[in-house]
Amino acid sequence: MSDMTSARRALAARLHGAGVLARPEWRRAVEAVPRELFLRPGVFVPGPAGRWTPVPAGRIGPALAYSDQSLVTRLDGRTTTEDVVEAVPGTPTSSSTVPSLVADMLGKAGVEDGHGVPEIGTGTGYSTALLCHRLGAEAVTTVEVDPGIARRASDALGTAGYVPHTVTGDGLLGHAGQAPYARIIATCAVRRVPESWLRQTRPGGVVLTTLGSWPNGSGLLRLTAGEDGGGEGEFLGHTSFMQARAQVPPPLAGDLSARVADADGDRTTDLDPALLLGGGMPAFLAQLTAPGSRVIRVDGLGTVLLDTERGNFAHFLRAGESWRVRQGGPVAPWDGIEEAVRAWQAAGRPGIETVRLRVSAGAHSYRVAGHPALRWHHPVS
Ligand SMILES: C[S@@+](CC[C@H](N)C(=O)[O-])C[C@H]1O[C@@H](n2cnc3c(N)ncnc32)[C@H](O)[C@@H]1O
């Protein structure tokens, strides 16, 4: 048995031991799909000073290929390991997802024999291959927005012996081709569930996606399609995925210090703004309360919460044991976030599993089960 094969089996055994490969079909899929084929032309691993160190495919050994970590394959939408020889700065835009997360999602989606499943966000094609192994490639459609990434994934899938329907285009539109589907699975994050996904899911079918507008504030949503084009959902845990292409916040134009120069209010808070970056429920509640905002930390300026579209901001400066918060724009974002986090603390800190979502034609409505004060209504324009 090759080193790659034994590493693959060892990974499957570890995931099974951790409870994420409860179903034998998925364990067999992880044991069968050679992840190394999906890592060409190479991956980037975290390097010095926030840079990314390229590791060409020929130097990817079993320990890296079968590590339970996300392996970045592209930076800034264009850079692959073929383009650089040294560590480079950049923002990851495609990767082979953490195997335990993929396996957990496939299990939670409740995929069964006979289901037709579109996957949104092909990436390297690794998770597509797992689906193909489980369902047969003819049942799987995978949609990737980036033509270069889509091409490489198709090649890798072919080399591994899988020929699913591959579509190059915007997965936020779903894929009407074989609709209605039993399941739609997204391996990129969305700020709201596209109406097309629910339209293309049969009543009782499931959309499984990461929902959120901040990397640290998102959650894994299982949404069951209703008869009326809407859906009822629950969150299954905290997850983080690359944001769907059209929903990535625009680059920050101009000088951030100029944007936060004119505050309408200035007060102190003893709620640590690091909560915004820390993940978990406070970050999840914050992005429900101030959707569309982002958190930026700048040396010399401090932490800034900024909603580029609306102009709302909160600027935090350490002041002894507490923080000074300067806010501006039509809505003071920290006021609402602080209120939500304190209400959540007073409610006994319920977990994300208690959050319910109703998606209707005009809105996403969130509530924390058993706590009527904890609710958010997001009209969808
Ligand atoms: C985290 S990667 C997917 C990883 C994949 N599951 C794997 O195992 O390799 C996310 C992918 O979603 C793609 N993506 C982003 N926005 C998209 C969109 N609107 N439609 C389709 N794909 C999209 C990105 O280009 C990227 O390749």
- Burial profile 311-333: b = 16 or more Cβ within 10 angstroms, e = fewer: ebbbbbeeeeeebebbbbbeebb
- How much is the pLDDT for 95? 94
- How much is the pLDDT for 302? 85
* Ligand 1 pocket, CB under 6 A: 93-97, 102, 120-121, 123-124, 126-127, 143-146, 149, 170-172, 187-188, 241-242, 244-246
Give 145-187 pLDDT, tens digit per residue. 999 999 999 999 999 999 999 999 999 999 998 899 999 999 9
The percentage of residues in the chain with a pLDDT greater than 70, rounded to a whole number, is 99
- How much is the pLDDT for 217? 82
- How much is the pLDDT for 112? 93
**Per mean pLDDT, which range of 38-52, 54-68, 240-254, 300-314 is the poorest?**
240-254
Q: Is the pTM of this model over 0.85?
A: yes
- How much is the pLDDT for 248? 83
Q: Is 7 helix (H, G, I), strand (E, B) or coil?
A: helix
Which residues, listed in sequence order, are joined to residue 144 by a DSSP beta bridge? 168
- How much is the pLDDT for 64? 97
Sign of the CA dihedral 175, 177, 179, 184?
Answer: negative
* Centroid of ligand 1 to alpha carbon of 146 (angstroms): 8
By alpha-carbon position, which residue is closest to atom 17 of ligand 1?
244
The H-assigned helical ranges of 83-234 are: 99-108, 126-135, 147-160, 195-199
* Centroid of ligand 1 to alpha carbon of 313 (angstroms): 30
In order, the DSSP letters of 53-86 are EEEEGGG--HHHHTSSS-EEEEETTTB-TTS-SS
* Centroid of ligand 1 to alpha carbon of 187 (angstroms): 6
Q: Which residues contact 320 (CB under 8 A, 6 or more apart)?
A: none
By CB atoms closer than 10 A (0-12, 13-18, 19+), residue 51 is middle
* Centroid of ligand 1 to alpha carbon of 70 (angstroms): 13
* Centroid of ligand 1 to alpha carbon of 144 (angstroms): 6
Give 74-123 pLDDT, tens digit per residue. 999 899 999 999 999 999 999 999 999 998 999 999 999 999 999 999 99
Average pLDDT, integer, range 20-37 = 93
Which atom of ligand 1 is the closest one to the Cα of 246?
Answer: 19
- How much is the pLDDT for 246? 87
* Centroid of ligand 1 to alpha carbon of 123 (angstroms): 5
By alpha-carbon position, which residue is closest to atom 20 of ligand 1?
171
Which atom of ligand 1 is the closest one to the Cα of 245?
Answer: 16
Give 36-85 pLDDT, tens digit per residue. 999 999 999 999 999 999 999 999 999 999 999 999 999 998 999 999 99
Q: Which residue has the tokens 């994420």?
A: 20
- How much is the pLDDT for 252? 76
Are 94 and 75 in contact by the 8 Å Cβ rule? The answer is: no
Provide the mean pLDDT of the chain: 94
Q: Which residues contact 292 (CB under 8 A, 6 or more apart)?
A: 191, 213, 249, 307, 308, 309, 310
